[in-house]
Structure 1
Amino acid sequence: MTDALAPVRRARTAIDDVADAFFLRLLGLKPELATSLGTPGYGSGFFDYSPAGQQAYAQAIQETLAKLDGFNPVDDVDMVTLDTMRERLGLELEFLATGITELNNIECPSQLIRNVFDLMPTGSADDWENIAGRLENVSSALEGYIASLRASRIEGHVAAARQVRAVVWQAREHAKDNGYFMSLAAGAQVNGNELDTGTRSRLERGASGAAAAYAGFANFLETELLPAAPGKDAVGRAYYELCSRRFLGTAVDLDETYAWAVAELDRLIAEQVEVAGRIKPGATIEEAKAILNADPSRQLKGSAALRDWMQATADQALSDLAGVHFDIPAPMNCLECMIAPTQEGVIYYSVPSDDFSRPGRMWWSIPPGEDEFTTWAETSTVYHEGVPGHHLQYGTATYQKELLNNWRRHACWVSGHGEGWALYAERLMLELGYLTDPGDQMGMLDMQRMRAARVVFDIGVHLELEVPEQWGSGTWTPEKGYEFLTRHLDISEGALEFEFTRYLGWPGQASSYKVGQRLWEEIRATRERTDGEAFNLKAFHTEALNLGSVGLDTLRRALLPGF
C-alpha cells in the first residue's frame, strides 16, 4: 500500500463549525449513527421515531439552515459544504412536510432498529452490557415508530399493502424463539468464555423483550395498518419526483431518463450477445451462462467458501490498484468480508470507524436455502462494494478529516453519487484491464443490465408509463414489471422477490444507481474534453473522492466549474 495520499490540511471555517455542530446534534438525536461510525459516548438508545422526534429533527435542521445564512464561503471546500447542506437539509424538510412515514422492506425504522446490532462491538463484557441496554430500548423505539405510522395514516398516507405484508413477515421472523434477537443472546461470549450470570440474564431479558416488541409491531401492522393500506403500488409522478431528487441530488427529466434507460438496456443486451460469442461461438446469452455455471472452477459451495473468495478478491484489488490507479493510504488497506446474520437477500457495505480500528466491511445476506454461488456472476459486485467502489469512496472521506468537516465525512450520503460511483467503478475495472475474462465480463454486464432494467421498471411502474413494444404492451403494472424483471435479473427466486418488493416500496432509489453512473461518466467525459492532454484519470478520481458524498448537481459544479 502507499501513503501518497497525505491528509489535506486546511484551517477550519465558520461554515465548518456550523456543519460540525449539526453533526454533533445528529449524534445526540440519532445514537445509532454514532454506533455505525464507531463513535463511543452516545449511549445505547435509538432515534425518537415518534412525531415529537421528527419535530425535534426538523427544528435542528431549520436552526442549522438559519445559521448558514449568516456566512459566506471562504474557499472551494466551504462552497461545496454550503451548496450540499442547503440542498440536502432543505430536501429533508420537504420530506418531513409531506407527513409521510415510510414503511418498506429494506430501509425504514423496522430494519434500522434491528440492523444497528450488527455494528455493535462484542469483544468484552462491557460491550455485551451495551447490547443488553440497547435491546431494552427496542420496544420504545418501535412504539415511537408506531405512533408516527398512525399519524401518517390519519393524514391519509399509508404504505402499499405489499410493503406492510413484507415488514410483517420480517418482524415475525425477528420475534421467533430462534429469531435474530434470541440467537444473538444465545451466542453471546467473550473470547470463547461465557458471560457472567448478571450480564447473561440481562441480555436474555433484553432479547426476549425485543422479540416481543417485534411481535407486537407485527400485530399492529396486520390488524391496524394493513386494513388501511392501498392495494396500488404506484406512487405517481409528484411523489416520485421528490423521491428522485432525494436520491440523486438533482432533478432529471423522468421521461427522457426512461427513454434513455430503454435504449441503454438494449445496448447492454447487444454487448452481452457479443461476449456470449466469445464464450462459445454462436452461443446465446443463456447458453453462455449455462456453460459458465457448469464450469467447476467458477463454482463455490457454502457461505464460508463465498466469504473466503470475496475476501481474496477484495484483497487482490486493493493490492493491485493502490498507487497505480488510485491513491489508497494505509488506513484503508483493510476490508473485511462478512456473511450477514440475516437472510434477506441484500449485499451492503458498512463504514469504517473514524480511526479505522473497525475496518470497512462488505456484508452478504444470503436468502434461506441458497448454498451455491458462481464467481463469474459476483466478481463485479466485490468491486462495487469494495475497491474501487464503496470502500474507497467511504474510506477516502473518512480519511480526509483535515480537509472535510465531520458532517460531510460521516453524515452526508447521496445514493446517486455513492451508488453511481460504485456502478461506475464496476465498468472502470473492465477499462483498467480487469474483468477481461469473458465470464467475469458477462457477470459485470449482467449487473449493469439489472440496473438499467431497474430504471425502466422503477420509473415505468410508478409513473404508469407505456411499456416499450419490445417488452410488452399497454401501461406498466407490477405484474408486467415482475415478468420484465425475470427476463433481466439473473438472480435467485428469493432475491428477485425481495428486489421486486424493494423497488415498489422505495421509489427512486433503484434508479439512482444507473442514473448516477450516467452522470459520473458524463462529468468525466467533459473533463477529458476540457483538460485535453493534461487530463489525468488518477488525479481526477482523487479530486472527486476528496469531495465526499454530495448531490449530483453539487458534484457537477465542483468538478466542472463554469459549466
Structure 2
Amino acid sequence: MTTDPTADQAAPAPTRPTSPLDEVANAYVQDSARLDPFAATAVGIAGYDDRATDYSPEAVDERAALARDVLAKIAVIDPVDDVDVVTRAAMQERLGLAVELHEAGEDYAPLNVIASPLQEMRDVFDITGTDTVEQWEAIAARLSALPGSVSSYVESLRHAAAAGDVAAVLQVSEGVKQAAELADPATSFFADFVTGPAAQAALAAAPAGSALRADLERGAQAACEAYGTLAGFLRDELAPQAPTEDAVGRERYALHSRNFLGATVDLDETYEWGLEELARVIAEQESVARQIAGPGASVEDAVAQLDADPARTLHGTAALQEWMQRTSDEAVRALDGVHFDIPEPVLALECMIAPTQNGGIYYTPPSDDFSRPGRMWWSVPPEVTEFNTWREKTTVFHEGVPGHHLQCGQAVYERATLNDWRRLACWVSGHGEGWALYAERLMADLGFLDDPGDRLGMLDAQRMRAARVVLDIGVHLGKPAPQVWGGGTWDAAKAWDFLRANVNMPEAFVRFELNRYLGWPGQAPSYKVGQRLWEQTRDAASASAAARGETFDIRAFHARALGLGSVGLDVLKDALS
C-alpha cells in the first residue's frame, strides 16, 4: 500500500476532489449521526444536540445494517488515488469488525464503569454547547428525551440477558452506584447542570416569557427519574442474573483486542512481552530513583522525596487546572515549528476539571469547525485534594500536545485531503492511545522530561501501562501468574495486589482503574501495545530509508502518519510502508 499524502502545514495543499468513495464515507457519517445523536455531538456535527440516542435492539440492528450496506458499496468502488486506498482499507477493517461484534451480540448490552451507555447519556452534556439561549433550549429538549434513551438501553440489556449475556456482577453493582448518584437530586449532575453559571447566563439572556427555565427544570427532573429507573433495574433485575466471573475468555477477548487495536496480535506472545516490558521499565525507574534520592535508594524513597517537595505539589483543583493549562501552552510553543508544524486552529487546548468525580483523565476532540476546542478533562475524586506535578507532566503531554490533541486536531484539520469519516468519526484506541504513549516517550527523548522527577513520572505512567497488559490478558484469559506476582491463576483479587504494587496513585484511582480493566476487556492493553506497534512502524520506516541510502526524517514521518487520521494499526503499517 502506498503512502497517503498529507497537507503541507506551511502551505496547505489545494482541496482534493471528492471521490465516489469519499461520497459513501461522508454519507455514512451523516447517516450514523442520525442514528446516534450522542455520537454526532461528540464529533461536532450540528443539528442533533436536541436529540437522544436510541439503544433499543432494533436501533442496534439498524446501525449494524448500515455498516453492512456501506461495506457492500465500498467493495465495488475502485480507489482513485492513494487516499482512497487507505480509506477503503480502514473502512473495511472498522465496519467489518462492527459487524463481527454485532453478530457476536457484543453491541446489545455494553455495561461497565467508564464507557457504556450508562456514562454516555450523561457525559454527552460535557461537550454540548452552553453559550447561547438556543443551545440551552436544545439541552432542555435532550434532557426531556433522556428517559427514552434509558428505557431503550434497559430493553437491550433485557434482550441480551435473555440470550445469557450479562455483564459481570462487579460492573452491574458499580453501575447501580453511578446511576443512583445521578438519580439523587442532592448529588445529581443534572440538577447542578441546569442551575449552574452557564445556565443562569442563558436564562438571563432569554426573552421575556421564555419557558426555558421550566423546560430545564422539567428536563433535569426527568433525567434524574430515568436514572432512578435504571438504578432499580440494574439492582433488582440484572444483578441477580450477573455472573461473578470477571474473565471473558479467549474467544471474546481476541475479538475485542482486534477492535481496540485495529491489528491482530499473538495474545500469548504479547503477555510475555508485557512481563518483559514491565521488568525493563522497573529497572529504568530504579536507576532514575537513585539519581533523585542517592545511591541505594528505592523507587519508594524517590517517590517520598518528590511528594514531600512543596515546589512539586499543587493544592486544590483550581491550582491543578492552572498548572495543566500553563504546561500545555508551554509545550505547544516549544514544539510548534520545531518538531511539528501545528495548524493554527489546533494551537488552542482547554484544560478542564470534569464535573464527574470518578478519577478518569480524558480528552475530547474539537468540533468539525473548531468552534469547540479540544479539551483535556480531569475527573477528580472528592477525597483527592493534592496533586504532584512530577507525576502528571507526562499526562499533559499524553492528553495534549504532542499526544491526543495534536493527533485528533490534525485529523479534523485535514479537510483538504480526508473525508468526513476519516477526519471526524474513525477512532481506533490502539492508534490513538498508542500514539499518546509514543508521544510521552518522544517528549522524554526530546529533552522535555530531563528533570529526574518528571522522568520518573513518565516511567511511572509507562509502568502502569505495561502492568495492565499483563493484568488484562492474564485475568481475561485465565493465564498462570508468575511466582513473583503471587503464582496461581490471575483473578481480580490477585490483580488488585499486582496493581497496587505497580501503580503509584491514590487508592481511589487504582480501584477505579482495576474495575475499568475488568469490565472493558482489551482496551487497557491498547495503550502500551499500540505504542509498541507505532514504534515498530517507525523503526521499519527508518530501516527502509537506510536501505535506500536516505536519512530518515522523523518529523516528516510524524506529519505523514498524523495526516492519515486515526486508522487501525495494521492499516497504518501498510500505509507507511
TM-score normalised according to structure 1 size: 0.98
Q: How does 1:293-308 map to 2 (within 5 A)?
A: 293-308=307-322
1:505 alignment partner in structure 2: 519
SS of the residue corresponding to residue 342 of structure 2 reads coil
Task: For residue 42 of structure 1, report the CA deviation from its aligned partner.
Answer: 2.5
Alignment equivalent of 1:315, drawn from 313, 329, 353: 329
Q: How does 1:35-54 map to 2 (within 5 A)?
A: 35-54=41-60
SS of the residue corresponding to residue 44 of structure 1 reads coil
Task: For residue 3 of structure 1, report the CA deviation from its aligned partner.
Answer: 5.2
2:149 alignment partner in structure 1: 141
CA distance in 1, matches of 2:16, 2:56: 40
SS of the residue corresponding to residue 499 of structure 1 reads helix
Alignment equivalent of 1:16, drawn from 16, 22, 26: 22
Instruction: Tell me, yes or no, if structure 1 residue 346 matches structure 2 residue 352.
Output: no
Alignment equivalent of 1:105, drawn from 98, 113, 134: 113
CA distance in 1, matches of 2:231, 2:175: 8
Instruction: Tell me, yes or no, if structure 1 residue 116 matches structure 2 residue 124.
Output: yes
Q: 1:30 to 1:218 in 2, by over 3 A?
A: same
CA distance in 2, matches of 1:503, 1:159: 13
1:554 alignment partner in structure 2: 571
SS of the residue corresponding to residue 415 of structure 2 reads coil
Alignment equivalent of 1:545, drawn from 554, 562, 565: 562
Structure 1 stretch displaced more, 77-86 or 177-186: 177-186
CA distance in 2, matches of 1:331, 1:54: 35
2:193 alignment partner in structure 1: 184
Task: For residue 192 of structure 1, report the CA deviation from its aligned partner.
Answer: 8.8
TM-score normalised according to structure 2 size: 0.95
Task: For residue 86 of structure 1, report the CA deviation from its aligned partner.
Answer: 0.6
CA distance in 2, matches of 1:520, 1:360: 23
1:331 alignment partner in structure 2: 345
For residues 9-41 of structure 1, what are the alpha-carbon distances to aligned partners after superposition, in whole Å with 9 as ceiling and x for unaligned?
322111111111111111111111221233222
Q: 1:7 to 1:315 in 2, by over 3 A?
A: farther
Structure 2 residue ranges without an equivalent (≥5): 1-7
Paired residue type of 1:559: L
SS of the residue corresponding to residue 356 of structure 2 reads coil
Structure 1 residue ranges without an equivalent (≥5): none
- 1:161, 1:229 within 8 Å by CA — same for their partners in 2? yes
CA distance in 2, matches of 1:292, 1:7: 48
1:376 alignment partner in structure 2: 390
CA distance in 2, matches of 1:102, 1:423: 26
CA distance in 1, matches of 2:245, 2:236: 19
- 2:278, 2:466 within 8 Å by CA — same for their partners in 1? yes
Paired residue type of 1:314: S
- 1:4, 1:327 within 8 Å by CA — same for their partners in 2? yes
Paired residue type of 1:201: A
Task: For residue 534 of structure 1, report the CA deviation from its aligned partner.
Answer: 2.3
SS of the residue corresponding to residue 82 of structure 1 reads helix
SS of the residue corresponding to residue 425 of structure 1 reads helix
- 1:7, 1:399 within 8 Å by CA — same for their partners in 2? no
2:413 alignment partner in structure 1: 399
Alignment equivalent of 2:283, drawn from 237, 262, 270: 270
- 1:5, 1:327 within 8 Å by CA — same for their partners in 2? no
2:65 alignment partner in structure 1: 59
Instruction: Tell me, yes or no, if structure 1 residue 90 matches structure 2 residue 96.
Output: yes
CA distance in 1, matches of 2:52, 2:369: 23
2:159 alignment partner in structure 1: 151
Cα RMSD of the aligned pairs, angstroms, is 1.3
Alignment equivalent of 1:438, drawn from 444, 452, 474: 452
Paired residue type of 2:504: D
CA distance in 2, matches of 1:327, 1:220: 51
CA distance in 2, matches of 1:387, 1:131: 31
Alignment equivalent of 2:303, drawn from 279, 285, 289: 289
CA distance in 1, matches of 2:171, 2:64: 26
CA distance in 2, matches of 1:510, 1:62: 28
- 1:7, 1:400 within 8 Å by CA — same for their partners in 2? no
Paired residue type of 1:287: D
SS of the residue corresponding to residue 260 of structure 1 reads helix
CA distance in 1, matches of 2:33, 2:205: 32
For residues 327-349 of structure 1, what are the alpha-carbon distances to aligned partners after superposition, in whole Å with 9 as ceiling and x for unaligned?
10111110000000010110111
- 2:49, 2:128 within 8 Å by CA — same for their partners in 1? no
CA distance in 1, matches of 2:11, 2:451: 31
Task: For residue 469 of structure 1, report the CA deviation from its aligned partner.
Answer: 2.2
- 1:5, 1:328 within 8 Å by CA — same for their partners in 2? no
CA distance in 2, matches of 1:473, 1:33: 43
- 1:138, 1:213 within 8 Å by CA — same for their partners in 2? yes
CA distance in 1, matches of 2:100, 2:350: 37
Q: 1:409 to 1:48 in 2, by over 3 A?
A: same
Alignment equivalent of 1:448, drawn from 459, 462, 475: 462
Task: For residue 234 of structure 1, report the CA deviation from its aligned partner.
Answer: 0.5
For residues 106-165 of structure 1, what are the alpha-carbon distances to aligned partners after superposition, in whole Å with 9 as ceiling and x for unaligned?
010010111011111111221111110000011000110100000000011000000000
